[in-house]
Amino acid sequence: MLNFLYFIFVFVFAILTLIYMAMPDLVQNTIPFGIRIPPEYIHNPYIREMKKIFRKWVVLVGITSIIVYTLMSITINNSDTIAIFNVTLFSVIFFFFIIYYIIHKKIGKRKVEEGWYSNKPTYTYASLDMDRDSELKIWVVLLPFIIIFVTIIIGIWRYPSLPANFPVHYAINGTPNGWMSKTPFNVFLIVVIAFLVNVFIDLLMYATVIYSKRDIDPAHPYVSQKQQIKFTNIMFEYLQIMLVFVNVSFMFSAFQIWGLIGSDQLSVVFITIPVFIGVVILVAATYKTGQSGAKIVINDTGKDTKNGHLHIDDDMFWIGGFIYYNKEDPSIFVGKRFGVGWTLNFGNPKAWVIIFLIILFIIATTLMIIFHRNI
C-alpha cells in the first residue's frame, strides 16, 4: 500500500538521480570522472561519449529503482517501508558508483594509451592559507541556532503539562513504541542532539576552511584561486541554510514528542520535508557554483597571467578518482574530484583523527538515544 512516505522516498530517488546526471557538469572540466586531462582534451569526442553513456545508465538505474521500490511497497507490509527504502537507496548508490568507476577506468586507460600527458612540462600551484581570504560571516552561523533557541522556549512552556512518562518514538502507523520518564534531560534530549549536530558540523566546516588545500590551476592561478575562495564562502553559507531546515525538522520532531502535533503519517511529512527542502537548496547552490567554483565567473581585471602552464598529472594520488592518499601533502582536506565539496587526505595521520572523531560522535549520539529510550 502506498502512503505519504512512499512519495517522499520516490522524491529522494528522483533527486539523487538528477544529481548524478548533473555531476559531470559540476566538476572541473579538466578532471572528468576523476581523471586529470590537459585543457585541449576537454571537448574530446571520447569524453563526450562517456558522459552520454554515464547519464544513460544513471537514468536507467534511477527509473529501475523507483519501479522496484514501488512494487516492493505494494506487496510488502507498511511496517517495512523504511527498511525497503534503505535497501533500495544503498543499492542505487552502489550501482551509481559502479557506473562512475567503469567510466573512470575507461578514460584513464584512453589517456595512457594516447599519451595525453606525454612529453609535456607540468606545474603545480597550491595554497593552504585559505583562512586569510575567506569571509565567513558569524551571523550566518547563528541562524540555525535561532531555531534551536525557539524550540527550547517552546519546550520550557510545554514541560509542566507533559505526563510522567511520554512517548519518544513511533512506529510507521503512528503507534508509540518507545517511552521515557519525564526529566529535563529526557524532554530536551532531541534539542541537545540538534545542538551537538550543529556544533560538530560547524567545527568540521571551519576545519575544512582552515586546513584544506586550494588546488590552483597554474594556467590561470588568479581566477582559479578566487573561484575556490568564493566557492568555500557560498558552500559555508548554504550549509548553514540547510542546517536551518534540518533544525526545523528537529523542532517538529520535538513537537511530536511533546504532543504538540500528531503521530500520524502526516506529521512524518512535516518532519521530513524541511530536510529535503534544505538539501534541494544546497544542491541548487552547488549546481550554480560547480565543484571548487568551476562555474563561478571571475573578472580577473588583468591580474591573471594566463601563461598556458599545464597542471601536474596527479592521478597517482587518487585511488579510483575519489580517495586521496598523499603522505607528502600536509593538507588534511582536498576538493573532491567527482562530486561537490571536500574529502580527506588519507595519507595525513590527522585525517584519521578526524575520522575517529566522526565515528565517536555518531556512536555517542546513537548510544545516548538508545539508552534514554529504554529508561
pLDDT in tens, 328-375: 888 888 888 888 888 999 999 999 999 999 999 888 887 776 665 555
Burial class (CB in 10 A: 0-12, 13-18, 19+), 316: exposed
CA nearest to 314, candidates 179, 122, 133, 158: 122
**In what side-by-side order are the strands of the sheet with 333-335?**
125-127, 212-216, 333-335, 342-344
- Using CA atoms, how far apart are residues 325 and 317, in angstroms rounded to an integer? 5
Q: Distance of alpha carbon 23 from its chain centroid, rounded? A: 13
Q: What is the pLDDT of residue 132?
A: 47
Q: Name the region of 293 (left: φ>0; alpha: ψ -120 to 50; beta: rest).
A: left
Q: Which cell numbers in the block locate residue 228?
A: 575556490
Q: What is the pLDDT of residue 101?
A: 95
- Using CA atoms, how far apart are residues 225 and 222, in angstroms rounded to an integer? 5
Q: Which cell numbers in the block locate residue 39?
A: 585543457
Strands 342-344 and 323-324: unpaired
Task: Decide: helix, strand or coil at residue 91.
Answer: helix
- Using CA atoms, how far apart are residues 254 and 247, in angstroms rounded to an integer? 10
H-helix segments, the chain = 4-26, 45-75, 81-114, 138-158, 184-187, 189-211, 221-257, 265-289, 349-373
Q: What is the pLDDT of residue 130?
A: 46
pTM beyond 0.85: the answer is no
The string over 63-92, giving b where at least 16 C-beta atoms fall within 10 Å of a residue's C-beta and e elsewhere, is eebbebbeebbeeeebeebeebbeebbeeb
**Cβ atoms of 249 and 272 closer than 8 Å:** yes
CA nearest to 9, candidates 369, 275, 263, 287: 275
**Cβ atoms of 339 and 25 closer than 8 Å:** no
Summarised one tens digit per residue, pLDDT across range 220-277 is 777 888 888 888 888 888 889 999 999 999 998 888 888 887 666 556 667 778 888 8
In this prediction, the residues of the chain whose per-residue pLDDT falls under 70 are 1-4, 77-80, 123, 125-136, 168-178, 262-269, 300-308, 369-375
